[in-house]
Each structure stands twice: as C-alpha cells, then as structure tokens.
Amino acid sequence: MKFYISTSGIKRVTISSSGAGKAAPPSTFTPTAAVAGTRRITIRTLLPVVLVLGLLLPFLFVRVTFLVLESATNCSSTLDCIGRGLFSGSDSSPKLRDELTRALVEAKEVELHNEDGLESFDELVKEMTSKRQDIKTFAFKTKAMLSRMERKVQSARQRESIYWHLASHGVPKSLHCLCLKLAEEYAVNALARIRLPPPEYVSRLSDPSFHHLVLLTDNILAASVVVSSTLENLANPEKLVIHIVTDKKTYTPMHAWFAMNPVKSAAVEVKGLHQYDWSQEVNVKVKEMLEINRLIWSRYYNNLKEEDLEHESQNKRYLEALSPGCLSLMNHLRIYIPELFPNLNKIVFLDDDVVVQHDISSLWEMDLNEKVVGAVVSSWCGDDCCPGKKIKDYLNFSHSVISSNFDSDRCAWLYGMNVFDLEAWRRSNITETYQEWLKLNLRNGFSLWYPGVTPPTLIAFEGHVHPIEPSFHLDGLGFRNPDVRDRQLLEAAAVIHFSGPAKPWLEIGNPEVRGLWNKHVNSSNKFMRKCRIMG
C-alpha cells in the first residue's frame, strides 16, 4: 500500500495497493468530503447530547426502580407496571401513599400478641425484598420491630435504674480505708484516745442552758461534714454541745477522728452503743424491733426474683427494703432518743447526710406548743404541694387498717432536721405506739406500709408534730434528678438534706449539688489524703 500526497496543496490523497494478483483501483480521499463528515460528529454536537443524557438517566433510573417496587403489589408483572408507568403518564404516588397510610393505621389499631419482631432494619429490608410481601405486611412487621425495640429500651432503662440504686448500697473504698486508718491510729496513738469531751466540758453534757445537737451515725466522713458545717454557721458556737452516737465497730475510728481534729469552741461527745447501760425492759423492746426489721429484710431478700425487677412498683419496694437506710441500726434507734439521753430536755436532731448552711440557733429557742417534734410540714410552693412526700407515698391505703385511720393526701413531715422536746416525748406513748404498729404490721404480713423507718415513725408521731418554717429544711437532694432549678431557694435553706440513694460521698451523687457538701470536707487531713478523699 502506498500513499500519494500532492505537494501543491493538500487537496487530494491517493491510496494504492501493490500486492499480488489483480491490482485494486486507487482510492481517493477528498478533504471536502472529510469536512462534511466532521461537521456531523464534532465535539460541539456531542457535548449537549451527553449533558442531557447525564441529567435524564438518573431520574429515569429512580423512576424505573420505583415502578419495580410498586409492581410487587399493584401490577401483574414488572414489565407491565413499568410500561404503564412510563407511557401512561399517570402518577401513582398518591395511591401508594394512601395505601401505606391505611396499612399503618390498621397496624396501629391491632394489638400484637407474642410477636417477636425483627432485630434490625436490615432484617426488615431483607424480609420484604426476598419474599415480595405487600404494604400491609410491611406495616405490621415494622410495628412488631419497633415494639420489640421499645421493650428492650424500657428494660435497659429499668435495669440501669436498679444498678444505680444498688451502687448506693455499697461502702466506698475510701470510706472503708478511712475507718481502718483511724482505728489503727486509735490503737497506737495516745492522742487519738484522749477523753471526749475534755474534763472541763463534761458538765455541759447535761446542762440545759447549752444547745444540744444529736447525731446518730456510723459514717465518720458524714459526721465530720455535719459538725464542720454547723460550727461554721452558728452565731455562738461556744454554746453548742454535740452528741455523736455510733455503733461498737465504728466507735474507735469515730473517737480518733474527733480527738485528733478537736473542735475549739464547742464540746463534742462520742459514745458507742456498747457504753449504754439500758434497763432490761428497753433491751427487750430494742431486740424485738430489730428482729421485726430483720424479718422484713429476709422476706424481701429471700423472695427476690429477677423478673420482679422488671416492674417499677415491685422494683421500688424491693430496693427500699434492701437499702442501707432500712438496715441501719442507727436509723432504727431514733425512736429511743429519750432513752439515749435521759438527762436532756430539748435537742436538735440532724441526720448524717445534711449540710448546715445558715445559723440554726433559733431552733433551740423555738416553742413547740407542747408538741413533741418540730418539723417542716408545709412547703414554700403553697398549699398545693408538699415539701417532701404525702402520707400515701409511705402507707398502703389499699389496706382497711390504714385507710380508716389516716388521710392519704396529707403531707408527711420531713425527718432529718428536727427539734425534739424530750420531756413531752417521755410524757407521751410515742415509743409504745411505734412498737405496737410494728407488731400489727407483722401480723398483717408486712402489708400496712412500704419498707423503711419513716412509715411507722409518721404513725407514732401522729398528732405530736409542730410545723416550722419551710426555709429551715430542704430535702430530696439525694435522688436521681433533684429539683435544683431554683438556685436561690437552695442557697436560702438553713439545712439541705441529701435524702435519697445518691449520698454526696458516693460517685453517683449529682455533681451540681455535691459541691455544697464537698466544700466542708477536710481534704487537707493526712488520713483524707491517704484514702484519696477529696472535697
């Protein structure tokens, strides 16, 4: 093959072949013809076509896909549905939407029984595409899947709440460490064993002219915070006498703490239960009370089943029955305060989970109008709400014994910051009433009230309560989501009470209110540092 190109201008190109056999006639390529062909296939012509196809093909693909999905329910065959959808020009979206709406409404109104439901959305897609099921089936399977997910979420939340409550039952390692370190110090250091209070203060222990503060606790850290915050805010701390009663195992570390961290102005007495010489009658009553409460604990503990914790009412009752507050010996002995302090006439009682923010000296001067206990009953929010809970939150009003004797809508007075007239208490039959109701509850299968120390106390003190100003006591800071929206109210309270499972020395405590407690922790103390207790 040969190419012949004219040198007088590129007007003609001749191609000839010189192979064997008959020669083929030369082929001639004329530029004019080439120009004409080039005009038909230029880039300028192709580019708009490519752009238009690029815009239309995705929409066409989506449309065809939609029609294929629709063909599963509306058409006899996929090709037939695509043909009608593409060439008839009608829009079937409203029809599909109406059919889906009807299916969803029908699924909503029908109760599903024993329907397991699919595990995930991927399984739902696989199920629907593989079996080519209709829209109604899709609606019912979606409902079953969502119902299954809702049950799992509800169960997870319930269990998380249970674990949160169980976390409040333990003793933190740091508190256990503090107790052991102080007990060791009591054994080897004579300074930790010095007499409390000093000899010059002993006469104050029964002097009615002084302000007597009582604290029943086995928590050293909590006791230190109560004492520290009280002394910091009292106008006349030199008039204060603090009586701390604890159990036998906590006595030595508790004594060591207050011996090595003396209070300069006030007198502090630390006394163990083993140091009391009670009468035989009181000992018998105390043993009966503790035995009844042990039976309550055993009943709930032995009957505890995992499935019971799935129901909120059962969950609440079991957790309260097994909580440290229900098991605490010091809590049960509150009803015997007159026997613990036979030489005192008037005291202010503080729980160990409180913080004193303002001067409370006026409590000792308060006239109780011949009542036994002064407590917050009314609330800052008016007559329509209670400062704590109502009586019906503690007592079982479905029982005729309770419903015939008490008003379910009446507010329960707050326990944890109270003024007690011990003379009036001794003249009453409050302690005897408490014991009688415990036995009555035992005979009724522990069905008269919900577990705890507060219900029988509310019954025993019925008619013996003198209301005091709500600003003296703000409680409920130990619950999961305490209502602290009104910061001014929180700061104005004379005593704030961390009632509830989330005690401020636990990590589950609310950080927003724990700071009010932490600032009174003596974090510079060497035992606090060794045990990593930081305020």
pLDDT tens string 386-410: 766 889 989 999 999 999 999 988 8
- The answer on 198 and 256 residing in a single domain is yes
> Is 22 inside a domain boundary?
no
The token pair that represents 435 in the structure block: 């014991």
Residue-wise pLDDT for 297-320, tens only, equals: 778 777 665 545 555 555 666 666
- The answer on 187 and 152 residing in a single domain is no
pLDDT band at 9 (very low <50, low <70, confident <90, very high): very low
16-32 mean pLDDT? 47
> Is 44 inside a domain boundary?
no
Mean pLDDT value across the chain: 81
> Cis (ω within 30 of 0) for the bond into 482?
no
Give this prediction's pTM: 0.74
- The answer on 219 and 148 residing in a single domain is no
428-454 mean pLDDT? 92
> Is 373 inside a domain boundary?
yes
Question: What own/partner pairs with CB < 8 Å and gap ≥ 24 does 476-481 have?
Answer: 476/388, 476/500, 477/504, 477/510, 477/513, 478/353, 478/502, 478/503, 478/504, 478/509, 480/161, 480/164, 480/510, 481/510
**Which position has the token pair 């079953």?**
144
- The answer on 310 and 237 residing in a single domain is yes
Residue-wise pLDDT for 338-353, tens only, equals: 999 999 999 999 999 9
8-26 mean pLDDT? 47
Domain coverage including residue 136: 112-169
Instruction: Read off the CATH number of the domain in which 355 is found.
Output: 3.90.550.10
250-269 mean pLDDT? 95
Output 16 or 325, whichever has higher pLDDT. Answer: 325
- The answer on 177 and 161 residing in a single domain is no
pLDDT value at 110 more than 60: yes
- The answer on 234 and 161 residing in a single domain is no
- The answer on 183 and 160 residing in a single domain is no
The Cβ of residue 344 has, within 10 Å, a number of other Cβ atoms equal to: 21
Residue 29 has a pLDDT of 44
Q: Of 31-35, 107-111, 382-386, 391-395, where does the model show the most confidence?
A: 391-395
> Is 87 inside a domain boundary?
no
Residue 206 has a pLDDT of 95
Residue 480 has a pLDDT of 66
Total tally of structural domains belonging to the chain: 2
Of 154, 169, 184, which residue constitutes the final position of a domain? 169
- The answer on 219 and 154 residing in a single domain is no
Residue-wise pLDDT for 461-493, tens only, equals: 999 999 999 999 998 898 866 655 567 888 899
Sheet holding 13-16, edge to edge: 2-5, 13-16, 27-29
3-state secondary structure of 480: coil
The rounded distance, in Å, linking the Cα atoms of 124 and 142 is: 8
pLDDT band at 102 (very low <50, low <70, confident <90, very high): confident
Of 122, 149, 169, which residue constitutes the final position of a domain? 169
The Cβ of residue 445 has, within 10 Å, a number of other Cβ atoms equal to: 8
Residue 66 has a pLDDT of 56
pLDDT above 90 coverage of the chain, percent:
45
319-329 mean pLDDT? 74
- The answer on 459 and 437 residing in a single domain is yes
Of 174-178, 220-224, 284-288, 326-330, give the lowest mean pLDDT range: 326-330
The token pair that represents 2 in the structure block: 């040969």
Of 17-21, 59-63, 215-219, 279-283, give the lowest mean pLDDT range: 17-21
pLDDT value at 371 more than 60: yes
- The answer on 449 and 423 residing in a single domain is yes
- The answer on 514 and 400 residing in a single domain is yes
Closest of 214, 208, 220 to residue 259, by C-alpha: 220
Residue 138 has a pLDDT of 74
- The answer on 153 and 251 residing in a single domain is no
pLDDT value at 34 more than 60: no
First-to-final CA distance of the chain = 101
Q: Are strands 473-474 and 495-497 parallel, antiparallel or unpaired?
A: parallel
